[in-house]
Amino acid sequence: MSGGMQTEDWKAEWQPVVDAVGRDFSDGETVFGADPVERGAIRRYLEPLEFDCALHTDPAVARAAGFADVTMPYTGVLTWTIPPLWQPGEVLFDSDDRNAQPVRSPINNQDMPLGPKTTGFFGTDIDIDFIRPVVAGERIGRRGRRLVSCVPKETSVGRGAFLTWESDVVTETGEVVARIRIGTYAYVPKNKTEASDD
């Protein structure tokens, strides 16, 4: 059980992040997805959704609709901006523990240079404005990574902070095709026995 002073201590660890609200953590770099948008990857994206739309699967239909090739589902802006999980020469798996995590992952809070170290991480909310559909053959990335808010909070799964980030989704020519505001919760998990379902 936590006392008041301990509560202040853990929240204080987040103060450098709170103070950084408004900062662009990207240093001007655009982080591109591992691969261009491809027909096969689009098909695989559709499969677990049982998502049947010919714009995404039939080049002839897509061309008749005015596109050069099949289009990426709009919500693919997250998937197709994930950078490579592994690069030649890197070691990604260095443990045979059943639940060991890769040495690095683009989907967590590892690259956050400020604040406490966290191991729990999940998305909480998203707003997206779509400027135009992305077509197979294009490669997209996220330009900018501006911290919009940081709210330390204890939840049923642990202590951490709700972080909101803003980015533009751009093509290799720099054209903006979408704008994303994404919320995440980065946290230190409670002991399993302390966690609840709510």
Partner 1 sequence: MTNPLMHQRYFEDVTVGEELPSVAYPLTVYRMVMAAGATRDFNSIHHNTEYAQSTGAKEMYANTSFLLGTWERCVRDWIGPAGTIRSIRGFRMRAFNYVGDTVRVSATVTGTRVEDEVGVVELTIRSENSSGVSVGPGTVEVTLPRRGEEQE
List residues binding partner 1 (CB under 8 A): 34, 44-55, 57-58, 61, 65, 73-76, 78-79, 82, 85, 98-99, 101, 105, 107-108, 119-130, 133, 156-158, 183, 187, 189-190, 192, 195, 197
d(CA 174, CA 9): 43
Two structure tokens written together for 59 = 């080049």
| Residue 86: CB atoms within 10 Å | 13
Structure tokens at 146: 């501006």
Of the pair 17, 178, the CB lying nearest partner 1 is at 178
Burial class (CB in 10 A: 0-12, 13-18, 19+), 32: buried
CB of 82 to partner 1, least distance (A): 5
CB of 166 to partner 1, least distance (A): 14
Cα–Cα distance list, 16 to 12, 78, 139, 143, 146 (Å): 8, 27, 34, 23, 15
CB 58 to partner 1: min, Å: 7
Q: What is the DSSP letter of 192?
A: G
When the beta carbons of 78 and 135 are compared against partner 1, the nearer one is 78
- Cβ distance to partner 1 smaller for residue 20 or 190: 190
- To the nearest whole angstrom, how small is the minimum distance from the Cβ of residue 19 to partner 1? 26
What is the distance between the alpha carbons of residues 10 and 176, in angstroms, rounded to a whole number? 39
Nearer to partner 1, 5 or 49 (CB): 49
Residue type, 122: F
What minimum distance in Å lies between the beta carbon of 111 and partner 1?
15
20 versus 151: smaller Cβ distance to partner 1: 151
> Cα angle vertex 14, ends 12, 15, to 5°?
65
